[in-house]
Amino acid sequence: MSAKSDVMVERSGPVTRVTFNRPNSLNAFTPQMLTTATQAIEAAGRDRGVRVIVVTGAGRAFSSGADLSARADPDYQGGPATIKGVNGLVRALRTVPRPVVAAVNGPAAGGGCSVSLAADFIVARESAYFLLAFANVGLMPDGGATALVPAAVGRVRATRMAMLAERIPAPLAMEWGLITQAVADDSFDSSVDSLTTRLAKGPTAAFAHTKHAFSAAAISQLDRAFAVEAAGQSVLTGTADFAEGLAAFVQKRAPDFSGS
């Protein structure tokens, strides 16, 4: 096992496991953390001995998304870098020529939701949930969510998730077709292990071509979504609503948006 900053990378036979490792912040993303995770995914894709990649979180969350607490610092410069980092990780998950399993051990919110949904298989604890939380702070979804979510559940449900910022419990997410499987908390680890073992014994080259074909057919506009999202977030981070949303987040209160 190797640990680089806030990401742990473990190789066990044909399986590489990448774990977000900031449990005290619910694995909130930093730019360096995202870069490290992306490099680990890309390295696994180049290793012919790796047949499956698992992405998960340490502690009680998969990831809460961007580290908004850091944005309250007047000297914070990580906004664009975080968006770039999430996009890079999502792109790596979609293009790596190996099946990727997102083992969603707890909440997957904001950019963490985007990252989880970029996997080929999303297995979640029944107690986990998925949340496009961006509207709560006056932002729009990013990390490719505007392409990934409608491709899975359709425009109407995607709009509900994005604009109402509702928590979607894992069982409902499975019912919608957003994720592969919701399993009882006490059988989560064994379910993930069973799936990765089955995939590791499968036809790796056929999996890679199948994955590429599905991406080309269902989410061919992912790069376009990255660009549109980044442009939108650039505008929104300068609004009064974002300033109010961020202040409300830090102060742990409901925001009072003005619409400007």
pLDDT at 121 exceeding the cut of 60:
yes
CA atoms of 102 and 162, how far apart (whole Å): 21
CA atoms of 94 and 198, how far apart (whole Å): 20
pLDDT band at 69 (very low <50, low <70, confident <90, very high): confident
CA atoms of 74 and 224, how far apart (whole Å): 31
What fold characterizes domain 2-186? 2-enoyl-CoA Hydratase; Chain A, domain 1 (3.90.226)
Q: Tens digit of pLDDT for each residue in 106-117?
A: 999 999 999 999
CA 120 and chain centroid, separation: 12
Q: What is the pTM of this model?
A: 0.95
Q: Tens digit of pLDDT for each residue in 157-186?
A: 999 999 999 999 999 999 999 999 999 999
CA atoms of 252 and 249, how far apart (whole Å): 5
